[in-house]
């Protein structure tokens, strides 16, 4: 799973540096969250948790929000994605897209709670309408590319006996 | 869809433990951030460099006749003059910036200015903040004011060895004490970010004169920001009969969406620091 580190690193760097200015209506996709949700869906809640914590750490290093909020936020999102996948009766092709949308909103809710817990103000109504809902769309679109790519990488990254091949 | 998991539960427990230490132990978190930003900052700096296109000179075409050669000389001369014009325009912009900056220094004893580049923004936009390419190694400290040649941009909220994070005045967590520049008014109040890129001027007594197009400058009260730095222009005044204070929507002087070069005021004036009693 170590090879996932550069992907998380690149995602964290990309969303802080390269994407601003070249984005739609001033909204940035949450690339790290997309990776975390994908990995949780593919490998279960334990992997989702670890990838979420590492991805959150990388996001916290580039963010101006109080340190730790993104670690908790993405850790929980990773666990939620993994648990949801285990409990779903039907694992259809739309599940990753729905997971990206729900994961984005869950991440936002946790961000609001984290900001309030650390006594930072966040105009959540404005952010929800003008940032998060557009971000839901962007993340869902990116999921269409990210999930198949990560699934292919996941199959390569797992030993044959481990993957049950 | 799901392959068998690769991470044992013990690894997950260790990851939770380490994350708990980082989240709940400020010292460990600071050390981790310091190490992390040493890795991230150079990469962010490198990626943030925008490379401008370089003009190509083509001089390999040989002309058959003298007239054609002369024509080429004229063309080259036009190109050279056009390039010089572009360069002069750049110098003109730079000259204007420096004049504005000089005016800023003359209006208030701002202390030494440290030129910094914006290398990153908050990745999710939850907080309106930017990362600059100078930090503790260049004497940047928490709460130092940050300006552009247009006016006040924000203040330093987090410092690492080679980078620092600047909370912009448009963030809702930012508060700046301001005064209306118009000598007929001189009303004072507090400006906060609204969240949508604009500012809200609050706590101005209803008896004070406040009009649209009024210019708001820092008052120096509070000790963080020096007095006399341009903050913004009043767009709309809101008054209600039942309230003691009036408020106004203010357009910031600095366009926070397109920040590239900023200046950190390394030594804020001691005179503006409030004295007890």
B62 has a pLDDT exceeding 60: no
Model confidence pLDDT, tens digit, residues A50-80 = 999 999 999 998 888 888 899 999 999 999 9
- As a whole number of angstroms, the distance between CA B7 and CA A117 comes to 31
Residues A83-107 have a mean pLDDT of 87
* 3 state DSSP class of A126: helix
- B224 to A31, B109, B221: CA distances (angstroms): 36, 14, 8
pLDDT band at B234 (very low <50, low <70, confident <90, very high): very high
CB atoms within 10 A of CB B172: 19
Q: Which residues of A touch B154 (CB under 8 A)?
A: none
- A42–B1 C-beta distance less than 8 A: yes
Task: Quote the pLDDT of residue A105.
Answer: 96
Q: Set out the domains of chain A in order of their start, with CATH numbers.
A: 4-18+27-152 (1.10.1760)
Cα–Cα distance between B38 and B68 in angstroms, integer?
58
Q: Give the range among A51-65, A111-125, B212-226, B258-272 with minimum mean pLDDT.
A: B258-272
Burial B94-127 (b: 16+ CB within 10 A, else e): eeeeeeebeebeeebebbebbebbbbbbbbbbbb
Say whether residue B173 is in contact with chain A using an 8 A CB cutoff: yes
pLDDT at B268: 52
Calculate Rg over the CA atoms of chain A. Answer: 15
Give the pLDDT confidence score for residue A73 in this predicted structure.
95
DSSP B116-156: EEEEEE-SSSSS-EEEES--GGGT--TT-EEEETTEEEEEE
Identify whether the C-beta of residue A61 lies closer than 8 Å to the C-beta of residue B33: yes
For A122-136, B1-15, B158-172, B258-272, which range has the lowest pLDDT when averaged over its residues? Answer: B1-15
> What band does B60 get if pLDDT is binned at 50, 70 and 90?
low
Count chain A–chain B contacts defined by CB atoms under 8 A.
164
How far is residue B42's CA from residue A142's CA, in Å, rounded to a whole number? 27
Residue B119: is its pLDDT beyond 80? Answer: yes
Which residue in chain A is spatially nearest to B9 when comparing CA positions? Answer: A46
Mutate to test the interface with A, among B33, B124, B198 (most CBs of A within 10 A): B124
Interface test with B, best of A8, A64, A104 (most B CBs within 10 A): A64
**Angle CA B112–B188–B226, to nearest 5:** 5
Q: Is A73 on the interface with B (CB under 8 A)?
A: no
- Give the count of beta carbons closer than 10 Å to the beta carbon of residue A147: 25
Both tokens of residue B181? 């520049």
More confident residue, B144 or A27: B144
pLDDT at A57: 92
Residue B265 has pLDDT above 60, yes or no: yes
Chain-chain contact of B124 with A111 (C-beta, under 8 angstroms):
yes
Q: Which residues of B touch A28 (CB under 8 A)?
A: 123-125
Cβ of A106 under 8 Å from any chain B Cβ? no
- B53 secondary structure, DSSP code: P
User: Hey, is the C-beta of A12 within 8 angstroms of any chain B C-beta?
Assistant: yes
Q: Which residues of A touch B36 (CB under 8 A)?
A: 57-58, 61
Cα torsion for B170, B176, B180, B181, to the nearest 10°?
-90
List the domains of chain B with CATH numbers: 15-47 (no CATH), 108-272 (2.40.10.350)
Total residue length of chain A: 165
Judge: B47–A18 Cβ closer than 8 Å, yes or no. Answer: yes
At residue B223, the pLDDT reads 83
Which residues does A79 contact at the CB level (< 8 Å), separation at least 6?
A40, A45, A48, A49, A52
- Judge: B5–A43 Cβ closer than 8 Å, yes or no: yes
Q: A107: distance to nearest CA of chain B, Å? A: 11
Residue B189 has pLDDT above 90, yes or no: yes
pLDDT tier for residue B195 given thresholds of 50, 70 and 90: confident
- Per-residue confidence band for B1, with pLDDT thresholds at 50, 70 and 90: low
Q: What is the pLDDT of residue B55?
A: 40
Instruction: Calculate the average pLDDT of chain A.
Output: 85
Specify the range with the lowest mean pLDDT, choosing from A16-30, B156-170, B195-209.
A16-30
pLDDT band (50, 70, 90) for residue A136: very high
A71 touches B at CB < 8 Å: yes
Q: What is the average per-residue pLDDT within A40-55?
A: 92
| C-beta of residue A53 within 8 angstroms of C-beta of residue B15 | yes
Residue B188: partners with Cβ closer than 8 Å, 6 or more residues away: B177, B178, B179, B180, B204, B208, B219, B221
Chain B segment 92-111 residues within 8 A of A by beta carbon are none
pLDDT in tens, B83-115: 777 777 767 777 777 777 666 655 545 558 899
Q: Are B101 and A41 in contact (CB under 8 A)?
A: no
CA distance, residue A68 to nearest chain B CA (Å): 5
Instruction: Please report, rounded to a whole number, the percentage of residues in chain B having pLDDT higher than 70.
Output: 82
- Minimal CA separation from B146 to chain A, in Å: 16
* Length of chain B (residues): 277
B57 has pLDDT over 70: no
How distant is the alpha carbon of residue A88 from its chain centre?
Answer: 19
Torsion (CA) A116, A120, A123, A125 in degrees, nearest 10: -10
For B68-79, b where at least 16 C-beta lie within 10 A, e where not — what string? eeeeeeeeeeee
CB contact under 8 A, B124 and A63: yes
Question: What band does A86 get if pLDDT is binned at 50, 70 and 90?
Answer: confident
Specify the pLDDT at position B100.
Answer: 72
Contact B43 A13 (CB under 8 A): yes
Residue B185 pLDDT level (bands cut at 50, 70, 90) = confident
Cα distances from B218 to residues A79, B122, B224, B268, in angstroms, run 47, 25, 10, 13
Which residues 112-151 of A are in CB contact (within 8 Å) with B?
115, 120-123, 126-127, 130-131, 151
Report pTM. 0.73
Q: Which residues of B touch A121 (CB under 8 A)?
A: 172-173
């Amino acid at each position: 799973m170590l090879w996932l580190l550069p992907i998380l690193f690149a995602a964290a760097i990309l969303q802080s540096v390269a994407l601003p200015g070249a984005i739609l209506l001033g909204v940035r996709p949450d690339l790290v969250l997309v990776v975390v949700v994908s990995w949780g869906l593919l490998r279960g809640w334990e992997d989702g948790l670890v990838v979420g914590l590492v991805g959150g750490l990388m996001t916290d290093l580039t963010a101006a929000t109080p340190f730790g909020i993104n670690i908790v936020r993405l850790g929980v999102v990773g666990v939620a994605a993994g648990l949801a996948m285990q409990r779903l009766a039907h694992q259809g092709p739309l599940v990753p897209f729905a997971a990206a949308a729900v994961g984005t909103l869950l991440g936002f809710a946790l961000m609001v709670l984290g900001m309030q817990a650390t006594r930072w103000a966040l105009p959540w109504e404005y952010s929800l309408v003008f940032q998060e809902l557009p971000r839901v769309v962007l993340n869902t679109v990116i999921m269409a590319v990210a999930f198949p790519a990560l699934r292919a990488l996941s199959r390569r990254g797992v030993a044959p006996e481990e993957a049950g091949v | 869809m799901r392959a068998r998991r690769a991470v044992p539960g013990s690894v997950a427990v260790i990851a939770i433990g380490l994350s708990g230490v980082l989240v709940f132990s400020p010292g460990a978190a600071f050390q981790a951030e310091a190490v992390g930003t040493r890795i991230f900052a150079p990469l962010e700096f490198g990626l943030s460099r925008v490379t401008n296109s370089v003009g190509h000179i083509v001089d390999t075409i040989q002309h058959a006749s003298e007239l054609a050669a002369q024509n080429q000389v004229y063309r080259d001369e036009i190109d050279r003059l056009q390039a010089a014009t572009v360069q002069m325009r750049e110098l003109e912009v730079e000259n204007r910036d420096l004049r504005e900056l000089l005016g800023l220094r003359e209006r208030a004893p701002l202390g030494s200015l440290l030129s910094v580049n914006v290398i990153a923004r908050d990745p999710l936009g939850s907080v309106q903040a930017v990362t600059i390419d100078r930090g503790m190694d260049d004497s940047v400290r928490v709460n130092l004011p940050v300006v552009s040649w247009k006016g006040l941009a924000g203040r330093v909220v987090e410092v690492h060895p080679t980078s620092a994070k600047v909370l912009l005045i448009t963030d809702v967590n930012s508060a700046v004490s301001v005064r209306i520049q118009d000598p007929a008014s001189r009303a004072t109040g507090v400006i906060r970010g609204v969240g949508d890129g604009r500012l809200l001027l609050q706590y101005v007594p209803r008896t004070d004169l406040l009009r649209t197009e009024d210019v708001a400058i820092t008052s120096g009260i509070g000790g963080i920001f020096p007095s006399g730095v341009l903050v913004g222009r009043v767009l709309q005044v809101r008054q209600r009969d039942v309230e003691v204070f009036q408020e106004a929507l203010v357009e910031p002087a600095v366009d926070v969406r397109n920040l590239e070069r900023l200046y950190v005021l390394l030594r804020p004036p001691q005179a503006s620091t409030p004295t007890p009693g």
